[in-house]
Amino acid sequence: MKQITHKLLDWFQKNKRKLPWRETDDPYAIWVSEVMLQQTQVNTVIPYYLRFMTSFPDVNKLANARQDNVLKSWEGLGYYARAVNLHRASHIVVEKFNGQVPSDPALFRQLPGVGDYINAAVQSIAFGEKLAVVDGNVRRVLSRLYEMTEMVNQTKYAKVFASKADDLLSHDKPGDFNQAVMELGALICKPRQPLCDQCPVSAHCQAFKNDSVLVFPKRHIPPKIPTENWVAAIIKKDNKVLLTQRKTDGFLGGLWEFPGGKVHKNETSQDACLRYIQEQLKLEVRIISQAEQVKHAYTHFKQKMHPFICQYEAGDIILNGPVDYQWIFWSDIHQFALPKSNLKFLKKFDELI
């Protein structure tokens, strides 16, 4: 294990990617990067991270920002609960810790959105705490090193992988070692085309020795992701269109959107559109036209979005579900943080609105 640790650290120092969050020792900046990197590829994160840090360069700026502005900076990155929790946590850091990110893992772990991964990553990299990180890359590396038969995507085996990671962790340079294992998984120990001839620890890898690299990691095959039909209504009134805001908690929390929702079984998309407008807003509208559907995939379901252009006919808005609404000029639409599915059909409506 000592040889593996030493070789990984040496390899990392020579081969690590130049990434913006590796150019700083600011715990807040490291925290932001790790939140963004959850379930998101590095190349996708980089421009978001740079823009976010320009807008909110320290925890005080983030805490003083409006949630709408935070979500707008996050727009398109997905998993918006990450942004909402980070914003909430910034308030706590300012109020309870005088604007200093807690260096105590137990205190940091209590902040909104901070789970075991974020805690270990930030505390080890920023403060040198001896906590091993376990993410998808790490589980894949461990699985091949030891030919582990435990399923990497089942939570019941989380403690087994955590124990293996703890055994390997460098106590002298825990932050560098955690990054080294994750970097190895990202660049060398890839899921489908691992570069074993370039791996610094291949001599210690059981899967490499036994020519079973592509057999690992073992994964539980989940059921097929369902496809759902949704509707969205672009309601026109005079020269404006209507946006509603979702509740902060829950799916796509805090985002603005065109009103609508999931189509029920045995219901047409047109009927669903009119139903949601009545249920959520108590408005009478007339459907003018329907645009081409757009497709988007979330973690647990695939979405077919059917957008409609509607003309306001009568009624005063009484919200049931959404927490806020605004009538806006179409030219101002990009000032609001919208779900990716809504963004996908915006261009289709430019010539129709």
What's the CA gap between 30 and 284, in Å, rounded?
Answer: 49
Give the pair of three-digit tokens for residue 82: 């990450």
Cβ atoms of residues 253 and 81 within 8 Å:
yes
Give the pair of three-digit tokens for residue 85: 């929790």
Choose, from 34, 75, 147, 150, the residue flagged as catalytic. 34
Helix (H), strand (E) at residue 302: strand 302-314
Give the pair of three-digit tokens for residue 200: 């610094």
75 is catalytic: no
The residues, ordered by sequence, that sit 6+ positions from 130 with a Cβ below 8 Å of its Cβ are 124, 169, 171, 174
What's the CA gap between 323 and 314, in Å, rounded?
Answer: 21
Tell me which residue of 129, 73, 85, 112 sits closest to 248, measured CA to CA: 85
Cβ atoms of residues 240 and 327 within 8 Å:
yes
75-81 long-range contacts (CB < 8 A, ≥24 apart) are 75/337, 75/338, 75/343, 76/48, 76/340, 76/343, 77/36, 77/40, 77/44, 77/45, 77/48, 78/39, 78/40, 78/340, 79/38, 79/39, 79/40, 80/252, 80/253, 80/254, 80/255, 80/337, 81/113, 81/253
Pairing of strands 240-245, 284-290: unpaired
Angle between helix 116-127 and 174-187 (nearest 10): 120
> What is the number of other CB atoms lying within 10 angstroms of the CB of residue 29?
21
Active site residues: 34
